[in-house]
Amino acid sequence: MIIYLNGEFVPKERAVVSVFDHGLLYGDGIFEGIRAYHGRVFKLGEHLDRLYEGAKALCLEIPCSKDEMQEIVLETLRRNNLKDAYIRLVVTRGPGDLGLDPRKCPKAFVFCITASIVLYPDEMYENGMAVISVSTRRNIPTACSPRVKSLNYLNNIYAKMEANLAGMPEAIILNNEGYVAEASGDNIFLVKKGVLITPPSSAGLLEGVTRNTVMNIAREKGITVVEKLFTMFDVYTADEVFLTGTAAEIIPCINVDGRIIADGKPGEMTRELTATYRDLTRVNGPLIYPGGSS
């Protein structure tokens, strides 16, 4: 495995980060999880937009342009001879001292990993999965904005720990007011009477690239899409429930907190959106290999 490491391509054994890097010491940095399918990097432009927006929010100067960053991602895939992959692109504050002050870190540090990831078994995509809501509340936007995909994921990890202890694969997190925000690593959607519903960003969630893609697909199909606040009551009584994420893609939920969702099977809209999403992954995004085809 070859890793891009701050201007070099090195074997994974040499891909090391300083113990003084503030990304390690304080979670000061940002990242993107990206997917490559069929020789294309899906929605790469949208992922890079979010990365650079997060950097701006953190006053973190990324030491290369978006075009240069795109080439870093593509070249890392080429060095590993990959056409289908999970990509982890990370920008840390960089090495500094043992204090908190980001001004002590003169230059950001960039690395890119291309590998694979499997969040859930195939049968869960076909038959649906059970999830629970947890007591951990989502970070409030005025404390640590969930819209920045930062290296500090403790809030999500607390929720994941609760799910693990309950023997569940995923957790639904509420915000401080009791409204549904998202899952520990995914966004959440409901279907009710033919309408597709998802929480607004003001609920305290990361606006997922997959989330936005699914919303666009639905609108193109003439499906009404509504972003609004809702509670667990609305989840329990929904006609369909599914989660979305770059790694998770689209996965149906058929049991939430012991409540069977509708007839306990993945719904028609979930299946339709999933099929169109998979078709889109074949044609969207820059080609990894110049002159090649998907």
pLDDT in tens, 169-190: 999 999 999 999 999 999 999 9
* CB-based contact 53:47 (threshold 8 Å): no
> To the nearest whole number, what is the mean pLDDT of the chain?
96
pLDDT score of 7 more than 90: yes
* CB-based contact 248:222 (threshold 8 Å): no
Domain with CATH 3.20.10.10 in the chain: 122-280
Q: Which residue has the tokens 């299946």?
A: 271
pLDDT score of 292 more than 70: no
Catalytic residues: 149
pLDDT score of 25 more than 90: yes
pLDDT in tens, 105-155: 999 999 999 998 888 999 999 999 999 999 999 999 999 999 999 999 999
Binned at pLDDT 50, 70 and 90, residue 293 comes out as low
In this predicted structure, what is the pLDDT of residue 119?
A: 83
CA distances in angstroms from 251 to 120, 172, 199, 212, 267, listed in the order given: 9, 14, 17, 15, 11
Phi, psi at 49, each rounded to 5°: -60, -45
Domain with CATH 3.30.470.10 in the chain: 2-115
Would you call 287 helix, strand, or coil by DSSP?
strand
In this predicted structure, what is the pLDDT of residue 118?
A: 83
Which class is 2-115 in CATH?
alpha beta
> Distance between CA atoms of 111 and 64, rounded to whole angstroms?
12
Indicate the CATH number for domain 122-280: 3.20.10.10
Ramachandran bin of 264, using left for φ above 0, alpha for ψ from -120 to 50, beta for the remaining angles: left
> pTM for this structure?
0.94
Burial 68-107 (b: 16+ CB within 10 A, else e): ebbebbbbbbeeeebeebbbbbbbbbbbbeeeeebeebee
Binned at pLDDT 50, 70 and 90, residue 291 comes out as confident
* CB-based contact 173:187 (threshold 8 Å): no
In this predicted structure, what is the pLDDT of residue 201?
A: 93
Reading the block at residue 155, the tokens are 């809030």
Residue 7, CA atoms < 13 Å, CB-side half-sphere: 6
* CB-based contact 177:160 (threshold 8 Å): no
pLDDT in tens, 215-267: 999 999 999 999 999 999 999 999 999 999 999 999 999 999 999 999 999 99
Q: Which residue has the tokens 């391509």?
A: 9
pLDDT score of 12 more than 90: yes
